[in-house]
Amino acid sequence: MQSYRGRFAPSPTGPLHLGSLVTALGSYLHARQCGGQWLLRIEDVDRFRCDANASQRILRDLSLLGMRWDGDIRYQTECDPAYQNALDTLELQQHVFPCACTRKRLNGQPYDGRCRDGLTTGEQGRTVRVKVPDQDVCFHDQLQGAFCQNLWQSVGDFIIRRADGLFAYQLAVVVDDAEQGITDIVRGIDLLDNTPRQLHLQRLLQYPEPRYLHLPVLVNPDGQKLSKQHHAPAIDTRQPVTLLWQALHLLGQSPPAELRRVSLARFWEWAISHWQVQRIPSVAQIAVP
C-alpha cells in the first residue's frame, strides 16, 4: 500500500485568513497522525490573479506556526509542460474538443454541447473542453459521506484550457496530484462539487484516485464564506499557539484551555496525537464572530 501523502494548496491571491488556516491545520494533522508526508503547492496557475508577495507571506506564516512541509514546493506556473502533456493525451484519445462559445452565449447555463461535433465555418476555438458522460460520478467522502453528480446535467463539457491560453484549475490540480503522488486530499467543502470533474479527468488519464475529506468552511455573521473576496482579515501569527488553538477548536477537537499556554512544540505534540476525524462537525458551514 502506498504511504500517505497529503497536501495543502493555497492560491496566492492574498494572505492566509482563519478559514484557510483551518483547512491547512486539518490537512496537516491528518497527514502527521497517519505518519505521512505533507506537501505544499502554490496554486498560481491563474497568474493574472496571483501575487508573488502573497506566496512569500503564506510560506512565512506557515513556518511561524510550526507547520513543516516535506520536499520541494510545487508552483503551478512552473508546470505548463506537464499540463500540456496531459492535454495532448486527452486530444489523442479524442476526449476533448475546441469550443467557440462565450460566457455571454451560455448565460450561466451548463454547456450544451454545441461545439462537441466540430466548429462551423468561420468559427475559431477559444477554449478546450473535455467531454463528460450523462451519468452520475460518485465517490465517498470520509466526512461528508456519499456524493454523486451528473456532470452533463450540472456543468456540461467543462473547460480545461481557457480562452486566455492558461490551463484551467481542474486539469492543473489533477495533474499536480498525480505527479506529486497525493493519496489523500483534505480541503474545504466549497470544493466538494469540483471532485466529480477531477475524478472524471483522473479516470480518463488513468491516474490513481486519491481519498477525499472535505472540511466545513467558516462563514462570517452574514453567512459569507471567509475569503479574500469578502475581506477576511489576515491571520496574526504573533501568538501562534492561541491562533492554532482557535482553529483546532473550530475543527471540533476540544483542546483543553491550558493548551493555549504551552509551547508551540507541545501544542503540535498534543494536536497530532489527539486528532480525530469523527470529531469534525459534519456540516457545511461553521459560523465565526
Sorted by where each begins, the domain ranges of the chain are 5-287
**pTM for the complete prediction?**
0.94
Give the SS3 label for residue 109: coil
Residue 72's pLDDT is what? 97
CATH topology of domain 5-287: Rossmann fold (3.40.50)
242: alpha, beta or left, given left = phi > 0 and alpha = psi -120 to 50?
alpha
Contacts (Cβ under 8 Å, ≥6 apart) of 38: 6, 7, 8, 27, 28, 31, 32, 67, 68, 69, 70
Of 136, 137, 142, the closest CA to residue 212 belongs to 142
Give the tens place of pLDDT for each residue, 55-72. Answer: 999 999 999 999 999 999
Give the tens place of pLDDT for each residue, 114-150. Answer: 999 998 877 888 999 999 999 999 999 999 999 999 9
**List of the chain residues with pLDDT < 50:** 1
Is the Cβ–Cβ distance between 145 and 137 less than 8 Å?
Answer: no
